[in-house]
A and B are shown apart, each in its own frame.
Chain A
Amino acid sequence: MAVAGCGQGNGNGDGNGNGDGNGNGDDPTATEMEGPVLATEAQKAQDAWEKYQNNQAPDQEEARNEAFVTVEEAVRDDMVLLPLYHRLGERFSYDWASVPKRGSLGSHRQQLQNATVDTSSDQKSENVLNLRNAPMSSLDPIQSTDTASGIVIGQMYENLTNYKNGIATQLENQLATEVEVSDDLLTYTFTLEEGVEYHKGGEVTAADFVYAFRRLAESPNSQRANFVLDELGVEHETETVTVTPTAEDGEPSEEERLVPGSLAVEATGEYTLEMTLMSPQPFALDILAYDSFAAIPEGYVGDVEGYDGEVTQDEFSTSVANGCGPFQLNEWVPDDHAQVDRFDNYHGSTAELDSVHWQIISDDNAYWTAINERNLDVFGIPTTFYNPDNVEAEQDDLGRQVGTYGPLENGDTVNYLGVPELTTFYVAWNVPQAPKAVRQAVAYVTDHQQLIDEVFKGRGQPAFSFTPPGMWPTGTDGYNEWVENWPYARNETDRESATQVLNEAGFTSDDPFEITLTTYDSEVFQQFGQITRDKLSGTGVSLNLEKAPFNTLISRGQSGELAFYSLGWIWSWVSPAYGLFGFEPKNTDTSTMPAETNGYYLDWQVGLEDEG
């Protein structure tokens, strides 16, 4: 998730701040019999999630898909989370640059070896593709979590599998040539391509993957250990260790830790790799396409037990890269630029470009200036400078808009590609702090289409489900039916129904329910907040607005202090489960976050039957 870089830090210091976020004393809780209805569908969601988990075999896809839709239904009917929009990823390019059309997983999943620039044109003298990037955080595949870093890492490192051009339906083998899955669906045997060279010499072997996966699971620098241990679920052992804190007043505590070297990934030959999962994972090959599972030479970084490392992790994350991808690192000057150069010994078809250069630009005015100077070959257009009337495009067979955009400020017309992305931006509630009627009232007054037209000049798709339409479990027809059945006044503002449902719950315009919407520094959500506040006034809900920096919002959400908040979710692989796991009501318990549970900050577990 990108953090918006604008606005002053006025989330907390301006008087309307945190005081009302955690005042639980007045709020109705589930145990109070007199309180308003909080949740009725939580049990349904819990059961459906368990049904998904119990049906992992390839032939049980139907049961899984049913379970996914049931979770969506429970979310919708309890209205614990209101999806707002799916982002439309747009790409503009000057005529002299040619980059294959990308897919819905985002530009950071596309490798650029097939991109070309026409150096015979007046504007290009160098065979370098000039792009823009946001500030990057790290070059270490197991450490980076932002898309800006992912864009650069993806050019330098490769995985067992890959989504070609970031297209969701084109999962292919990358370094693996063959994959065998055992009958119990737990053991995967990969045969690796032979003779694949690293940038700094040496060949890719199965032992490198064993090391790379161990780093992902064990390194203290890993930000994605849960991807290999939980999402993919590779078998491993844990031990309980007693941690003695250094502070004098701290109590020693017991902690579960992964036993070093116990991850069930093994090199059975120089080019054969065996991996054993704890339980079947239908999306295993999809997950392996994620950046963090990239091959690096065994022992290259010494941050796992048993290896000294050739470079330190500090160097590995900032100035040294050693993958086997089509491009190798030239340099990264933080916040200024990054450049990768063609790797001549690449195992696939060698890149046509000499280099790819990213100018790191955060400000919209600077970005727009660089675009109009023709200093960027492929780019996006900041919403302020965007005019929807300038798009002329037709839909292709993958649902992408292909055409032209223009004129720009400099008079040029450029190529246009619009891709519905696998993202969902939403607002959600903490159940004990927001009665069901209040949540439903917000859904009734929200006009998705109006929001998208007014706030983003039409660059998005209304979201009526958490799972994007591109990966809806029951296909396009199923999705259309789902949208048809949206119970909360689709694409219109229904204040009457909102008032009615609120009145039934005892909230009136004279005695409204007060709730605070906390958004991070995002123009979009702040405008949503203002529009919704105005629409709700007089219905029985009084909405306060509050802004918090992204990381403050996250930590307050985890401690259950947010009654109503805004966030987004970006899919890293094409599985509905990767988005829906956060709805499992037991997994939404904020009192055990972030250690035991990692769902959305809903506290939906208060609606479970066994919780009374």
Chain B
Amino acid sequence: MSRWRYFFKRLLLSIPVLFLVMTLIFVILRMGPLDPVAAILGPDAGAASGNRIREQLGLNQPLWKQYVDYMWSLLTFDLGQSWVVQENRKVTTLLRIFGPRTLWLGFWAILLPLFVGIPLGFYGGLNPNSWGDYLASSGGIIWLAMPNFWLSIMLLMVLRRSDGGGLFGFDWYTFGPNTESIIGSPPLDFFVLTDWASLGVLSVPTGVNFDPTGLFVAIKVILPPAIVLGSASMATELRIGRTAILETINSNYVETAKAKGLPSRVIVWKHVFRNAMIPLLPVITTEAFLLIGGSVIVEVIFNINGIGALFFQAATQGDLPLAGALLFIFTLIIIGLNILQDLLYTILDPRVGYD
């Protein structure tokens, strides 16, 4: 089987997975202990309005019909509206408001550990059992052991006390671009599309307003929560990167390359790093899954109000239409990440598909 055929097979396989997960979501939401009608009504409303809501939600339809409607509306991306958490707002509107914040946070929470964790791990692997290696490895273990909620609270406390120069002798608020607060949503309006031109059916942005200061502010605001959120990944990537390098360095082909007289720079860049990335890849993508779930607590403590916090509210307040739609989006993201992982494997590892 060729590598690309393998990839497309994996792509096709994700379709039944998507159906299975959606069915599962349907079963959990419709048959679970939460009554969406009671959630919407609150403590003092009459039965008449209860029936009306039941009708609007389609809860008085036969179950099979509810199932078909539900699947169809999800597949056509008709996500409905929130009923409790943000009454009357369309889920797509909510995604447009809340989504970018989580994406911005997630982006930095994945990027930061990549650029800190992997280099440190590679450094440790290339210089095993040196003092630098010990420092990096044990630092990684301690970092990993600190839970996110605790780290968030500590970071908030240290940073807010730096107003006017604190514990560490620098003022976070005036460090780099000025910020008024270390909590709240990052201002994501530094990049605005102002004009659109239509080319046939396509709309093409022609006017772009980019504000570099705004970009720096948005980065600065997201840094503390991103560091917390990425902390666990950073440590894991460090540990696995180190092991992977050690294994590769001691493998036969590296010995052979050395014997051939290849310069060590070429050996490290062409043979060691590339092969060490193979075990790291699933770690990185798996961490990305975890970030979706893990972002809830960080978003709440830093008051970022992203998708994580929204989903938490929807789930705890019985807003089933919203919770279901968000679960569907999460499923899509996870399946997408899986496909991305397969794609990267296909590119990185020539052995993929041989069987």
Contact B184 A359 (CB under 8 A): yes
Closest A residue to B319 by beta carbon equals A551
Contact B38 A552 (CB under 8 A): yes
- What's the Cα separation between A550 and B163 when bound, in Å? 39
Picked from B163, B185, B305, B309, the residue with its CB within 8 Å of the CB of A410 is B163
Which residues on A sit within 8 Å (CB–CB) of B14? none
Closest A residue to B179 by beta carbon equals A373
- What's the Cα separation between A93 and B55 when bound, in Å? 47
- What's the Cα separation between A241 and B50 when bound, in Å? 16
CB distance from B325 to the nearest CB of A (A): 15
Binding stretch for chain A, among B41-49, B131-139, B202-210, B341-349: B41-49
CB distance from B212 to the nearest CB of A (A): 24
Contact B163 A373 (CB under 8 A): yes
Any B CB within 8 A of the CB of A363:
yes
Contact B87 A365 (CB under 8 A): no
Binding stretch for chain B, among A190-198, A328-336, A422-430, A536-544: A328-336
Any A CB within 8 A of the CB of B10:
no
Any A CB within 8 A of the CB of B321:
no
CB distance from B95 to the nearest CB of A (A): 12
Any A CB within 8 A of the CB of B284:
no
CB distance from B32 to the nearest CB of A (A): 8
Which residues on A sit within 8 Å (CB–CB) of B51? 243, 245, 255
Contact B42 A223 (CB under 8 A): yes
Binding stretch for chain B, among A246-254, A452-460, A480-488: A246-254
Which residues on A sit within 8 Å (CB–CB) of B292? none
Any B CB within 8 A of the CB of A239:
no
Any A CB within 8 A of the CB of B302:
yes
Contact B42 A334 (CB under 8 A): no
Picked from B94, B182, B316, the residue with its CB within 8 Å of the CB of A334 is B94
Any B CB within 8 A of the CB of A53:
no
Contact B318 A554 (CB under 8 A): no
Contact B318 A335 (CB under 8 A): no
Contact A248 B38 (CB under 8 A): no
**Which residues of B92-119 have CB atoms within 8 Å of chain A's CB atoms?**
94, 97-98
Q: Given the known inter-chain contacts A333-B97, A336-B185, please indicate yes or no for A365 contacting B38, CB distance below 8 A.
A: no
Q: How large is the interface on A (under 10, 10 to 19, 20 to 34, 35 or more residues)?
A: 35 or more
Contact B60 A245 (CB under 8 A): yes
Interface 1/0 per residue, B297-312 and A, CB below 8 Å? 0001111010001100
- What's the Cα separation between A243 and B50 when bound, in Å? 13
Which residues on B sit within 8 Å (CB–CB) of A336? 97, 184-185, 305
CB distance from B219 to the nearest CB of A (A): 19
- What's the Cα separation between A359 and B85 when bound, in Å? 17
Contact A370 B183 (CB under 8 A): yes
Contact B48 A365 (CB under 8 A): no
CB distance from A559 to the nearest CB of B (A): 9
Picked from B45, B55, B301, B315, the residue with its CB within 8 Å of the CB of A363 is B301
Q: Given the known inter-chain contacts A551-B39, A552-B35, please indicate yes or no for A370 contacting B181, CB distance below 8 A.
A: yes
Which residues on A sit within 8 Å (CB–CB) of B97? 333-334, 336
Any A CB within 8 A of the CB of B338:
no
Contact A365 B152 (CB under 8 A): yes
- What's the Cα separation between A479 and B61 when bound, in Å? 54
Which residues on A sit within 8 Å (CB–CB) of B46? 225-226, 594-595
CB distance from A117 to the nearest CB of B (A): 16
Closest B residue to A549 by beta carbon equals B316
CB distance from B69 to the nearest CB of A (A): 12
Interface 1/0 per residue, A221-251 and B, CB below 8 Å? 0010110000000000000000101111110
**Which residues of B152-169 have CB atoms within 8 Å of chain A's CB atoms?**
152-153, 156, 160-161, 163
Any B CB within 8 A of the CB of A33:
no
Contact B88 A551 (CB under 8 A): no
Picked from B50, B161, B181, B309, the residue with its CB within 8 Å of the CB of A594 is B50
Q: Given the known inter-chain contacts A365-B153, A373-B181, A375-B180, please indicate yes or no for A5 contacting B303, CB distance below 8 A.
A: no
Contact B44 A226 (CB under 8 A): yes
CB distance from B36 to the nearest CB of A (A): 9
Which residues on B sit within 8 Å (CB–CB) of A365? 152-153, 156, 301
Picked from A223, A256, A369, A555, the residue with its CB within 8 Å of the CB of B181 is A369
CB distance from A245 to the nearest CB of B (A): 5
CB distance from B180 to the nearest CB of A (A): 6
Scoring A1, A246, A521 by chain B CB atoms within 10 A of each residue's CB, the highest score goes to A246
Q: How large is the interface on B (under 10, 10 to 19, 20 to 34, 35 or more residues)?
A: 35 or more
Q: Given the known inter-chain contacts A220-B52, A552-B34, A554-B38, please indicate yes or no for A361 contacting B315, CB distance below 8 A.
A: no
Which residues on A sit within 8 Å (CB–CB) of B163? 372-373, 410
Closest B residue to A314 by beta carbon equals B88
CB distance from A224 to the nearest CB of B (A): 9
Contact B43 A369 (CB under 8 A): no
Contact A551 B42 (CB under 8 A): yes
CB distance from A282 to the nearest CB of B (A): 21
CB distance from A17 to the nearest CB of B (A): 8
CB distance from A238 to the nearest CB of B (A): 11
- What's the Cα separation between A104 and B185 when bound, in Å? 34
Picked from A243, A369, A552, A554, the residue with its CB within 8 Å of the CB of B42 is A554
Which residues on A sit within 8 Å (CB–CB) of B305? 335-336, 360
Any A CB within 8 A of the CB of B62:
yes
CB distance from A355 to the nearest CB of B (A): 16
Any B CB within 8 A of the CB of A145:
yes
Closest A residue to B36 by beta carbon equals A551
Contact A363 B300 (CB under 8 A): yes
Closest A residue to B101 by beta carbon equals A336
Any A CB within 8 A of the CB of B313:
yes
Which residues on A sit within 8 Å (CB–CB) of B16? none
Picked from A246, A366, A550, A598, the residue with its CB within 8 Å of the CB of B61 is A246
Contact A335 B309 (CB under 8 A): yes
Closest A residue to B82 by beta carbon equals A334
Q: Given the known inter-chain contacts A246-B61, A248-B62, A317-B87, please indicate yes or no for A369 contacting B94, CB distance below 8 A.
A: no
Closest A residue to B35 by beta carbon equals A555
Picked from B49, B87, B300, the residue with its CB within 8 Å of the CB of A362 is B300
- What's the Cα separation between A521 and B315 when bound, in Å? 13
Which residues on A sit within 8 Å (CB–CB) of B316? 3, 5, 9, 521, 549
Scoring B38, B52, B89, B94 by chain A CB atoms within 10 A of each residue's CB, the highest score goes to B38
Contact A12 B44 (CB under 8 A): no
- What's the Cα separation between A359 and B185 when bound, in Å? 11
Closest B residue to A246 by beta carbon equals B60
- What's the Cα separation between A250 and B313 when bound, in Å? 33
CB distance from B167 to the nearest CB of A (A): 13
CB distance from B193 to the nearest CB of A (A): 19
Closest A residue to B318 by beta carbon equals A551
Give 15 A-B contacts (CB < 8 Å), ordered by A residue. Answer: A145-B42, A225-B46, A313-B88, A318-B89, A362-B309, A363-B301, A366-B302, A369-B160, A373-B160, A549-B34, A549-B317, A549-B318, A554-B38, A555-B35, A598-B44
Given pairs A335-B305, A366-B183, 20 additional interface contacts (CB within 8 A) = A1-B43, A18-B33, A135-B313, A143-B87, A246-B61, A247-B60, A314-B88, A314-B89, A334-B89, A335-B98, A362-B303, A363-B301, A363-B303, A365-B301, A366-B303, A370-B181, A551-B35, A551-B38, A551-B39, A552-B38
Interface positions of B (Cβ within 8 A of A): 33-35, 38-39, 41-52, 55, 60-62, 84-89, 94, 97-98, 152-153, 156, 160-161, 163, 173, 180-185, 300-303, 305, 309-310, 313, 315-318
